[in-house]
Amino acid sequence: MTVRPIVAIDRVSVAYGDLVVVHEVSLDIAAGETVGLVGESGSGKTSLGKAITMLKDTIDGTIAFEGEDVRALVASDRLAFRRRVQMIFQDPVSSLSPRLKIRSLLAEPIEVHGLPFEATWRQIEALMADVGLSAQHLDKYPHELSGGQARRVALLRSLVLAPRFIVCDEPTAGLDVSVQGDLLNLLCDLQITRGLTYLIISHNLNVIRRVTDTVAVMYLGQIVEVGETATLFARPAHPYTASLIAAIPTIDPDRRRSPIVLAGEIPSPRKPPTGCRFHPRCPSAQARCRTEAPARRDAGPGRSVACHFPVA
Ligand code: SF4
């Protein structure tokens, strides 16, 4: 039996003016799954996250949430969509209004979405302990919180609306390792108790390896590999995925790999290379790669790769 994904992204492109930063990306996310989206800065990860949550318009392709094309939603349905689909931003302090205390910031979504105030506020108070906040945080301003506390407030603001799907953009960036661990445990616990589905965008491959079921690798606006997390980390097929994994710092001698040195920086999406977009930096590139763009093809159960000469 084919299970319909909760999010189905089909050949989606996103642009800022004439600069196309996401190019014909397709990805399915199953209900209850945690998908990791990885890649260097400038690969289009956050733009794709914003497109899925309707914070950025697409210029092509379709995004379906629970089977409905999100671009076809009328205004009243869009508000309901925003309750079910949330995005938590990379820098939670700057995404929260600096002039409002946490109490007001938590009340804001209740008012915007017209939810019953008393009942919803009681839910917030009950949830505060679950996310590691206490009543004393309510009278603070965002800049008075630590990075970990600000992320918990952003998470609580999302949970107020009982979402089904949350995009977490760099959820652990800037946090020390023990706070990172607490936050990841919290995300995992909430997934179980509230039936959440996550897309986690991160540079930190140790975080991605720890909490995701599936990984999608982006390079210069395209998804170049998708695979089940353990398999992809053990046997990356795309040379770019292999280079990212080889660069993960580790103290475990059994996991050490020789670093794969990539030439140069990620090119500008304004003038992407011909053929395979990765070819100027790829240690496996051959003549064909310079002229022929590889399509993403199935490479086993739950696995697909866009490369003429995969390394696994
Ligand atoms: Fe490298 Fe060629 Fe594969 Fe592109 S298609 S990743 S250049 S081997």
The tens digit of pLDDT for each residue in 220-260 reads 999 999 999 999 999 999 999 999 999 887 766 665 566 66
* Helix/strand/coil percent split, the chain, to 5: 40, 20, 40
Q: Is 239 in the pocket of ligand 1 (CB under 6 A)?
A: yes
Q: Is 92 in the pocket of ligand 1 (CB under 6 A)?
A: no
In the chain, DSSP assigns E strands to 7-16, 19-29, 34-38, 60-65, 68-69, 85-88, 165-169, 197-201, 214-219, 222-228, 297-298, 304-305
Contacts of 234 (CB under 8 A, 6+ apart): none
Distance 49 CA to ligand 1 centre (A): 26
Q: Name the average pLDDT for the chain.
A: 92
Q: Is 289 in the pocket of ligand 1 (CB under 6 A)?
A: yes
Q: Is 284 in the pocket of ligand 1 (CB under 6 A)?
A: yes
pLDDT, residue 264, reads 78
Q: What interhelical angle do 177-194 and 117-130 show, nearest 10?
A: 130
Q: For the whole model, what pTM was predicted?
A: 0.93
CA 48 – CA 261 distance, rounded (Å)? 27
In 17-142, DSSP assigns E strands to 19-29, 34-38, 60-65, 68-69, 85-88
Q: Is 44 in the pocket of ligand 1 (CB under 6 A)?
A: no
Cα dihedral value 35, 40, 42, 48, nearest 10: 0
Name which residue sits closest to atom 6 of ligand 1, judged by CA.
307
User: Taking 90 as the threshold, does the pLDDT of residue 91 lie above it?
Assistant: no
- Our mutation pick for probing the ligand 1 site, out of 220, 260, 286, counting the most ligand atoms within 8 A of Cβ, is 286
Name which residue sits closest to atom 5 of ligand 1, judged by CA.
307
Distance 50 CA to ligand 1 centre (A): 28
pLDDT, residue 258, reads 62
Side chain identity, residue 80:
A
CA 173 – CA 148 distance, rounded (Å)? 10
Distance 85 CA to ligand 1 centre (A): 35
Q: Is 100 in the pocket of ligand 1 (CB under 6 A)?
A: no
User: Taking 80 as the threshold, does the pLDDT of residue 1 lie above it?
Assistant: no
Task: Considering only residues 144 and 4, tell me which one the structure prediction assigns the higher pLDDT.
Answer: 144
CA 197 – CA 6 distance, rounded (Å)? 8
pLDDT, residue 2, reads 60
Distance 294 CA to ligand 1 centre (A): 8
Distance 287 CA to ligand 1 centre (A): 10
Distance 271 CA to ligand 1 centre (A): 18
User: Taking 90 as the threshold, does the pLDDT of residue 87 lie above it?
Assistant: yes
CA 102 – CA 91 distance, rounded (Å)? 16
Task: State the closest ligand 1 atom to the C-alpha of 288, by its place in the atom list counted from 1.
Answer: 2
User: Taking 90 as the threshold, does the pLDDT of residue 179 lie above it?
Assistant: no
Task: State the closest ligand 1 atom to the C-alpha of 308, by its place in the atom list counted from 1.
Answer: 5
State the pLDDT confidence band at 312, using cuts at 50, 70 and 90: confident
